Amino acid sequence: MIRDMIRLVPDDKRHILPRYFAAVLVLGVAQGLAYSALAPLLTAVFGGDLGTAWRWTIAIAVALVAVGIARYVQAMAGMLIGSAMMRDLRLRLGRHLGSLPLGWFSDNTAGKTSRVMMASTNEVLRVFAQLLTPLITAVLVPVTVAVAMLWVDWRVSLTMVITAPVLYLVNRVGNTLFAGATEAQHDAAARANEQVIEFAQAQPVLRVFGTDASHERQLMSSLQALRTAIRRALFASVPGLAVFTIVVQLTFMLLVWVVVALASDGDLTVPTAIALITVSSRFIEPLSQAADLSSAIRRAQVAARRINALLDAETIAEPAEPLSPAGSTLRFDGVTFGYGKNNRDDDDNTAVLHSVDFEAPAGTTTAVVGPSGSGKTTLLRLAARFYVPGQGGISIGGVDLAELGTDAALKQVSLVFQDVYLFDQSVMENIRVGRPGATDDEVFAAARVARVDEIVERLPDGWDTRVGEGGAALSGGERQRVSVARALLKDAPIVLLDEATSALDPQNEAAVVAGIRELTRDKTVVVVAHRLPTIRHADQILFLDAGQVVERGSHDELIALGGRYADFWDKRSTASGWRLEATTF
Ligand SMILES: Nc1ncnc2c1ncn2[C@@H]1O[C@H](COP(=O)(O)OP(=O)(O)OP(=O)(O)O)[C@@H](O)[C@H]1O
C-alpha cells in the first residue's frame, strides 16, 4: 500500500516524504510513550509518591508536546502532498494516456479508464492527508506500549507482544476478503460507466433499429450488477471488521485477566494493576481506530493499484534525441504488423500486413486500393505512428519513425480519416485543433477553402456554435469538411487520407473534394482511395490483398498488366457508371 502510494507522489514533492514519515514515526512513538508513562504515574499516585508522580506528569507533558508538534508537521506535509497529488495526478495520467499505443484503448474501455481517472484518483487523494497516519500509528503505538511495558511488568509486555501477530493476521484475512469484493465493485462500476456511455452515444442507432429495449435491459442489468457488487463489498467488510473488533476486545480482556491474575497472586501491587489496565485500554485504542478506517484504506489500496497499473502500461518508446527528417518521402520497409497483444503481434498467422515495402516520394500521390479488410487503413495508421510495426521500419525523410519520435512524426503528417471526431467546442476551436497556435485569420482562411464558412452561416451562434459531443450537431459531410479544414490549417508535408466510402450529398462532396485538392497540392499523399478519379490520377497505385502488396504501378501500367487491379477497375467503373472524361479531380 505504502509503496503504491509513494509512486503516486509528484516528483517535486518527494522530498517532503521523509519529513512526513519522520513526523508519523515521532507521533506514533511519542503517543505510545505517553500512554506507557501512565503506568508509573498511576503507580506513583496510588502509592502516594507525589514527587515521582510529578516527574512522570512532566514526562507525559513532554511526550504530548512532541505528539502535538509531530501531528502539526505530519498534517502540513500530508496536505502539501495531497494537494500536489490533486494538481498532478490526473494530468500525469492524462499525459500517459496520450502516449499509449492505440491498441491499449481497445482492451481498456472508456468506462474503465474514466473510472481510474476520476473515482480512483479521488480515493487516493485522502491517503496522505487522512488515512496513512492512523494506519501507521495503529502499528507504532501498540509496539511502543508493548516494549515500554517491559520495564513495568515483562509478563504483561509478553502478552501484548504475543497478541500482536494474531491481531495482524485477523486484520489481514478480513482485508483480503474485503479487497476481493472492492476489486469486484470497481470492475462493476467501470462496466456500468461503459454501458451508460454506450447507451447515450448509441441512441440514434438504437431508435432507428428499434432495439432500445434490449440495450436498456443491458444498462439496467449492469446497474443492478453494480448495486449487487456494492452490497457485497459492504457485507464483505462486515465479517472482517466484526471479527477484528471482537479479537481486539478479547485481547483487552486477556490483558485484564493477566493483570488481575498477577495481582491476585501478589505479583503486582493494586496501583500497578490499575495502571496496567489503563495502559492496556490505550494499547488497543489505535487498533480500533484503524479498523474503523479499514474500508476507506482498502478502497484507496485498490485505487492506487489500478492507477499504478495504468501508469505501468507500456508507452511507445520515444528517442532520447529525436532526429530531423530530410524531406517528406515516406517509406515502408518490410513492414509486418498485427493487432495482437502490445500491438506487436507479428506472428504470420495473425498479421494484418505482411512485409509491405513501398516508397511514396516527396510530392507524389500513392493510392492504396484493395478489397475490404485487406489492411489499407492499418497501413495509414502505421504511417501516423498510431501503432508500431512488429517487423520492418517506416521512415519519413530517411529517418525511421522510432528515431523521429511520435511528436515529430505527427508534425510531418496531416490526417483526414473517415471517422472524424469533433470535440464539444465551437467550430472555431475544432478547426484550431489542427494547429493550436493559429490566429483567427488563419483558421478562417482554412475554413473558407474547405467551405466550412458556408456551414457556419447556418449555425445559430456562427463560429461560436458548439458542435456537441463527437460533433453530433453537424452532418457527416459537414464533419468531414471541418476535418479537412483542420488538416489545411496544419499544412503538414505528408497527407494521409482515408477517402469517404459512402457517397456524400453533392454539396458536401464538392466542398470536401475542393478542400482536399488544395490540401494535397504539392504534398506527399498516401490515400486509401475509393473515388475512381483519385485512383486514376495517382502517381502510383498499391493493390493490397490480405495484407500484401500484390500489384503496384501507375493506372495505365496496372491496366496493361491485366491482373487484380484491372479486374477491380473494371468492376468499379461498371458499377459506378463512371466515365474518365467527365472527372475533374
Ligand atoms: N483496432 C483493431 N483491432 C483488431 N483488429 C483490427 C483493428 N482494426 C482493424 N482490424 C483488422 O485488421 C484487418 C484490416 O483492417 P483495415 O481496416 O486495415 O482494412 P481495410 O482494408 O482498411 O478495410 P476497409 O476497406 O473495409 O476499411 C481486418 O481484418 C480488421 O478486422
The response to whether residue 373 sits with its C-beta less than 6 Å from ligand 1 reads yes
In tens, the pLDDT along 147-165 reads: 998 888 899 899 988 887 8
The response to whether residue 339 sits with its C-beta less than 6 Å from ligand 1 reads yes
Asked if residue 62 is part of any domain, the answer here is yes
Asked if residue 324 is part of any domain, the answer here is no
Same domain for 397 and 432: yes
Please report, for the domain that includes residue 151, its CATH number.
1.20.1560.10
Whether 403 and 410 have beta carbons less than 8 Å apart is answered as no
Question: Which triple of cell numbers denotes residue 227?
Answer: 448495486
Indicate the number of domains in the chain: 2
In tens, the pLDDT along 216-253 reads: 777 788 788 888 878 887 777 777 778 888 888 898 89
Same domain for 154 and 33: yes
| Closest Cα to atom 31 of ligand 1 | 373
Tell me how many degrees the CA angle 26-28-33 measures, rounded to the nearest 5: 90
Same domain for 449 and 476: yes
Same domain for 91 and 216: yes
The response to whether residue 144 sits with its C-beta less than 6 Å from ligand 1 reads no
Q: Which of 344, 376, 382, 419 has the most ligand 1 atoms within 8 A of CB, as the residue to mutate? A: 376
- Domain span at residue 425? 330-582
Average pLDDT over residues 496-518: 76
pLDDT bracket for residue 5 (50, 70, 90):
confident
**Closest Cα to residue 350, out of 341, 359, 339, 360?**
339
Please report, for the domain that includes residue 354, its CATH number.
3.40.50.300
Same domain for 400 and 257: no
Same domain for 414 and 298: no
The response to whether residue 372 sits with its C-beta less than 6 Å from ligand 1 reads yes
Asked if residue 293 is part of any domain, the answer here is yes
The response to whether residue 378 sits with its C-beta less than 6 Å from ligand 1 reads yes
Q: Which atom of ligand 1 is nearest to the CA of 381?
A: 18
Same domain for 305 and 241: yes
Q: Which atom of ligand 1 is nearest to the CA of 418?
A: 27
The response to whether residue 377 sits with its C-beta less than 6 Å from ligand 1 reads yes
**CA 406 to each of CA 255, 257, 391, 411, 539: distance values in angstroms, whole numbers, following the listed order:** 65, 70, 18, 9, 28
Q: If you measure from the C-alpha of residue 31 to the centroid of ligand 1, how many angstroms do you get, rounded to a whole number?
A: 64
The response to whether residue 114 sits with its C-beta less than 6 Å from ligand 1 reads no
Asked if residue 555 is part of any domain, the answer here is yes
Whether 394 and 383 have beta carbons less than 8 Å apart is answered as yes
Q: Which of 347, 352, 356, 502 has the most ligand 1 atoms within 8 A of CB, as the residue to mutate? A: 352
Same domain for 225 and 355: no
Q: If you measure from the C-alpha of residue 39 to the centroid of ligand 1, how many angstroms do you get, rounded to a whole number?
A: 76
In tens, the pLDDT along 278-336 reads: 888 888 888 777 777 777 787 888 888 888 988 888 887 778 887 888 888 999 999 99
Q: Which atom of ligand 1 is nearest to the CA of 528?
A: 22
Q: Say how far apart CA 306 and CA 183 lie, in whole Å.
A: 9
Q: Is this complex's ipTM strictly greater than 0.90? A: yes
| Closest Cα to atom 3 of ligand 1 | 339
Look at residue 582 and tell me whether its pLDDT is greater than 50. Answer: no
Look at residue 501 and tell me whether its pLDDT is greater than 70. Answer: no
Q: If you measure from the C-alpha of residue 316 to the centroid of ligand 1, how many angstroms do you get, rounded to a whole number?
A: 21
Asked if residue 195 is part of any domain, the answer here is yes
Q: Which atom of ligand 1 is nearest to the CA of 378?
A: 18
Same domain for 342 and 225: no
More confident residue, 187 or 11: 11
Asked if residue 281 is part of any domain, the answer here is yes
Please write down the HEC assignment for all residues of 364-397.
CEEEEECCCCCCHHHHHHHHCCCCCCCEEEEEEC
| Closest Cα to atom 13 of ligand 1 | 373
Using CB atoms within 10 Å of the CB of residue 108, give its burial: 0 to 12 exposed, 13 to 18 middle, 19+ buried.
Answer: middle
pLDDT bracket for residue 210 (50, 70, 90):
low
Asked if residue 320 is part of any domain, the answer here is no
Q: If you measure from the C-alpha of residue 373 to the centroid of ligand 1, how many angstroms do you get, rounded to a whole number?
A: 5
Same domain for 347 and 304: no
Taken as a whole, the chain contains a residue count of 585
Whether 133 and 74 have beta carbons less than 8 Å apart is answered as yes
Same domain for 194 and 116: yes
Q: Say how far apart CA 359 and CA 331 lie, in whole Å.
A: 4
Same domain for 348 and 304: no
